Structure 1
């Protein structure tokens, strides 16, 4: 079923997102396991 995430910054209203799949990308360098090819 759908998942819900709420996020925001201090002092501003929160934002709520609902979707079947949610990926949180923090902007860090991704870990790529051995045997996985990046395209």
Structure 2
């Protein structure tokens, strides 16, 4: 429930920025490539 959450979701919506892995730990980069709008989000 912090302002970071909003930015986090915004970045998730914009996989083009590829900022997902930066905010969230990239445990499986392969999965993120298959689901860039879900993997980095969760």
- Which structure: greater helix fraction? 2
TM-score (norm 1): 0.17
Higher RCO (C-alpha 8 Å, min separation 6): 2
Structure index of larger Rg: 1
TM-score (norm 2): 0.17
